[in-house]
Amino acid sequence: MTTLSPESRITAQAVASFAGTADPRLRQLVQSLVRHLHAFASEVELTEAEWFEGIRFLTATGQKCDGLVRQEFILLSDVIGLSMLVDAINHRAAEHVTESTVFGPFYIAGMPERGHGENMAFSPGVPALVTGRVLDADGRPVVGALLDVWQTAENGMYSGQDEAQPQGNLRGRYRTDAEGRYAIRTIVPVSYPIPTDGPVGQLLAATGRHPWRPAHLHFMIEAAGQRTLVTHLFNHDDPYLDSDAVFGVKDSLRVVYEPCGTDHALAAEFDFAGEFRLARYDFVLERG
């Protein structure tokens, strides 16, 4: 008969205490979580002071959440790479479809539906047009797809986070036309730091990490019969592409904002009175 060490016995007892869980998936999740947390404590020989500091940190993380715009637990999941790991596990298979990335905590539902090429920027910045098509996995245009779009202002803050910005600034919902085309008039995105005034910011500072995300435009694209796509387009030349604080960058999501003048064919169509930048990107959705 093998005798368990006191530590192994505690782990075995804690795992076994959940053996009667009726839902098999819940049983698997809880037992595996307990096993891995115990393995972590044993591996690092966790001290009581460290355990207490962990409890304090998680309590402060919960207290920082406001139920509206601030979600410090999502931020924590993002900076430890857990959000992108869950994304990778759940979007494994499909080739030739647009890659997904992190959702982030700054989405606001119910933003105004805007016309083809309508401006969503009501704060200063470099004028830009982001345009392309939404296609299905067979390369056919998706008509009437809804693109929910959001980005920060030049001060690195999202409307909703920053009271100085007009409601709905740099947010909007756009629909594809009969050829699957979309067009968004906006400003070129800028890089910005994720919020550092809470426990997650303290964790980054204590571990010598920077809080910056490379410049990006967020998309959530929905269409009947297609799997909803949550993704970003990243400015191709951003200095933080290789060190995104939340590990969200994928090479296939980089776009060039090409400088254009008023002689460009799209200047008149989209009402640009001066120079602007043009980014083109075709999204390919996975069948739902």
Residues that bind ligand BEZ (CB under 6 A): 75, 78, 102, 104-106, 194, 213, 246
The closest alpha carbon to 260, from 271, 274, 246, belongs to: 274
Taking the least distance from each CB to ligand BEZ, the nearer of 133 and 173 is 173
The Cα 99–Cα 154 span in angstroms is 26
Tally of residues, the chain: 288
Give the number of other CB atoms < 10 A from CB of residue 249: 21
The DSSP symbol for 201 reads H
Q: Encoding tokens for residue 183?
A: 């067009």
The site for Fe ion, by CB under 5 A, has a size of 1
110: left (phi > 0), else alpha (psi -120 to 50), else beta?
left
Residue 230 touches which of ligand BEZ, Fe ion, none (Cβ within 5-8 Å per kind): none
* Closest separation in Å from C-beta 147 to ligand BEZ: 17
* Closest separation in Å from C-beta 137 to Fe ion: 27
What proportions of the chain, in percent to the nearest 5, are helix, strand and coil? Answer: 30, 20, 50
Taking the least distance from each CB to ligand BEZ, the nearer of 176 and 191 is 191
Closest residue to Fe ion, based on beta-carbon distance: 104
Report yes or no: 216 and 233 within 8 Å, Cβ to Cβ: yes
Report yes or no: 151 and 200 within 8 Å, Cβ to Cβ: no
Residue 260 touches which of Fe ion, ligand BEZ, none (Cβ within 5-8 Å per kind): none
Taking the least distance from each CB to ligand BEZ, the nearer of 18 and 107 is 107
Residue 194 touches which of ligand BEZ, Fe ion, none (Cβ within 5-8 Å per kind): ligand BEZ
> Between 89 and 128, how does the x/- string for binding to Fe ion read (CB under 5 A)?
---------------x------------------------
Taking the least distance from each CB to ligand BEZ, the nearer of 141 and 198 is 198
* Closest separation in Å from C-beta 269 to Fe ion: 28
The DSSP symbol for 287 reads B
Taking the least distance from each CB to ligand BEZ, the nearer of 73 and 122 is 73
Residue 105 touches which of Fe ion, ligand BEZ, none (Cβ within 5-8 Å per kind): ligand BEZ
* Closest separation in Å from C-beta 151 to Fe ion: 7
* Closest separation in Å from C-beta 16 to ligand BEZ: 38
For the chain, strand residue ranges (E) read: 113-114, 127-135, 146-150, 171-175, 181-187, 192-193, 212-213, 216-222, 229-235, 254-255, 258-260, 276-280, 283-284
* Closest separation in Å from C-beta 223 to ligand BEZ: 23
The Cα 65–Cα 205 span in angstroms is 20
Residue 285 touches which of ligand BEZ, Fe ion, none (Cβ within 5-8 Å per kind): none
Q: Rg of the chain over CA atoms, in angstroms?
A: 23
* Closest separation in Å from C-beta 164 to Fe ion: 18
The Cα 84–Cα 244 span in angstroms is 12
* Closest separation in Å from C-beta 122 to ligand BEZ: 19
Contacts of Fe ion in 176-215 (CB under 5 A): none
Taking the least distance from each CB to ligand BEZ, the nearer of 135 and 149 is 149
Residue numbers at the binding site for Fe ion (CB under 5 A): 104
